[in-house]
A and B are shown apart, each in its own frame.
Chain A
Amino acid sequence: MKAVCWNGVNDVRVENVPDPRIINPHDCIVKTSLTAICGSDLHLYNGYIPAMMKGDILGHEFMGEVVEVGPEVQNLRIGDRVVVPFPISCGHCFFCQQGFWSSCDNTNPKAGLMEAAYGYSLAGIYGYSHLYGGYQGGQAQYVRVPFADVGPIKVPENLTDKQVLFLSDIFSTGYWAADSCNIHAGDTIAVFGCGPVGQMAIRSAYLLGAEQVIALDRFPERLKMAEEGRAEVINYEGIDVVEQLKEMTGGRGPDACIDAVGMEAHGTGFDGLFDRMEQKVRIETDRPTALRYAIQACRKSGTVVAAGAYGGFIDKFPIGAIFNKALTLKSGQAPVHRYLQPLLGRIERGEIDPSFVITHHLSLDEAPRGYEIFKNKLEGCVKVVMTP
């Protein structure tokens, strides 16, 4: 089959590899009908997530048709059309049963690596480095899906692939970020970064009852897309973001701030330069420019949600602002399984059509170009989907 393989920094290639097969009794094989490049795939592409090996198959947003099931799979049959959530979860451990699906105890075959890095091991993730288990990713014609009874959700025929694909990650992640803001009527939510997850977070915040959503970015096409989602937008270049947000919220500040940027923030001011320099000399591995702004801008006793991915260490973390303003900091890989059914319901009822975010539909063979334009925000690229 054809698969998108990581070959080093800024080097992905479409290669011919063996087809996956059933390995464990709860596995199924999905024939991919649509897959996507996620913003977090760019962290792998740019070389900021450790424990990648040449030849690793990328991708954790995918859907398709079940073509083979393991002997102990009960909920799925050959021919079912499914969307697969990006964390691999067993469904039986303490964390899965509490709804913390991305913290599953039992699905990371390289648990020792993760334990050494973070103290405890987390759920495996498709195509997201050996830290997360080294699983084959979804940017391929076929994918082995472990715990087929727990993860994949069947989707009705009347919805298109593009409408439901993003249940796998960005829609669920954006919605989880908004849900983590604990929104009350009248609340203002500030979303830092108008990439795919930011776009989903904007719309999710309104679905959850926010009165005002303010979105920050500097790329016109992304700000325009945010405006189409009813956000008030700020181009952060050359302005005092905190003062601007204060101004727009009657002096109080946003009730919650979502960092939808993560470890590779591209701040254009002094802070951005500072973080780039510190990352270059390895004082920090991640650039928390957006997170710092989110913390500084958030109102007293508000909530900051780190939804963009972080991997290692940051410098000059404003713990004083967090402590003295009594902020709540939430973070994590989204527990996607929790949101699959409710969000499918919202799509079915026409409350949202997540396909709005797609700007490029390529074939799998064009993956190298897809990574290139998504990374460099060329051709107005916001989201790339690919048909194998």
Chain B
Amino acid sequence: MVSAEPIQGTSHKIIHKLKNERGTSRINVGETERLISIAVGIPMTIFGLNREILNRPVPILLGGSLILRGVTGRSFLYQTLGVSTVEHSPATIAELPDNQGIQVKRAVTINASPEELYRYWRDFKNAPRFMVNVESVQVTGDGRSHWVAKTPLGKTVEWDAEVTQDEPGQLIAWRRTQGPFLAPNSGSVHFQPKRNGRETVVRLEIEFHQFRGPIGTMLGNVFGQIPEQVVRQDLERFKELMEAGEIATTAGQPSGRRI
């Protein structure tokens, strides 16, 4: 089944556009620092507004700029100084235009053939074995499937997906057709053989309707969807399963910790 719309091409365009848009003004404030900026900025602004506005311009301006800095994640001072306090991210993240969310990308090299890896991934019933949050997948036929994932609060999220592009041994792309906005919106996985004839580069791209930054992180912590962590862990576990035949864990081992 091949989709009419080349998803890969679209995402390349998006990245290109993003580069142009963000060339002069990049997120350069780390997430913890953004939260602190907001936490300090709000009471400072309130303090300023409690008095007659013109008498207290300093706390209002300072508080307001702190809130702005926290919300946007962009600091003019940092930009001028060439400083960034953005933490290490385990994947490449791009913001989609028009507040459509984010795209998370990561690649991994696996010691197996593209065909073998494609076969395992394409059988979506295998997904709960390596996708961290996915609990079950029901394949309903005609490229459609029903996904159930858990959240840390013990609740589950369910959605339907359909395959939009399927090239055996090379590419699978899918999109969500129904379900809450917290579920992945769309995604693709590419299998590209390395020249050495043994290994395969697996590239995973997933788009989430979620915002980057402190609000996204807070939401993520609640719903278990810190997208870059999900993408990193899913790929890491897929590799472990395909190469080593099991997923490394210490869950269930003894320790001297008292519960």
Contacts and interface: CB of A to CB of B under 8 A. Distances in A.
Nearest to A110: B250
Given A94-B109, A112-B229, A23 B249 contact: yes
Given A111-B236, A112-B232, A24 B246 contact: yes
Interface in B220-255: 229, 232-233, 236, 239-240, 243-255
Contacts, number: 99
Interface string B126-158: 000000000000000000000000000000000
A13 B256 contact: yes
A15 interface: yes
Contact of B248 (A3, A25, A55, A107): A107
Interface in A1-33: 1, 3, 5, 7, 13, 15, 17-21, 23-26
A153 interface: no
A135 B244 CA distance: 18
Contact of A26 (B90, B246, B254): B246
B249 A136 contact: no
A112 B237 CA distance: 12
Nearest to A24: B246
Contacts of B247: 24
B252 A5 contact: no
B111 interface: yes
Interface size of A as a range: 35 or more
A109 B236 CA distance: 10
B248 A146 contact: yes
Interface size of B as a range: 20 to 34
A55 B243 contact: no
A54 B254 contact: no
Interface string A103-136: 0011111011001100000001000000001111
Q: Is the interface of B mostly helix, strand, loop or mixed?
A: loop
Given A55-B257, A57-B256, A94-B111, A106 B243 contact: yes
Contacts of A319: none
B255 A135 contact: no
Contacts of B252: 21, 23
A116 B247 CA distance: 20
Nearest to B247: A24
A26 B245 contact: yes
Given A93-B244, A94-B109, A105-B243, A3 B249 contact: no
B258 interface: yes
B195 interface: no
A175 interface: no
Given A94-B111, A106-B244, A111-B236, 9 more contacts: A18-B254, A23-B253, A53-B255, A55-B255, A57-B254, A92-B245, A93-B244, A109-B250, A115-B232
Interface of A: 1, 3, 5, 7, 13, 15, 17-21, 23-26, 53-57, 72, 88, 90-94, 97, 105-109, 111-112, 115-116, 124, 133-136, 140, 144, 146-147
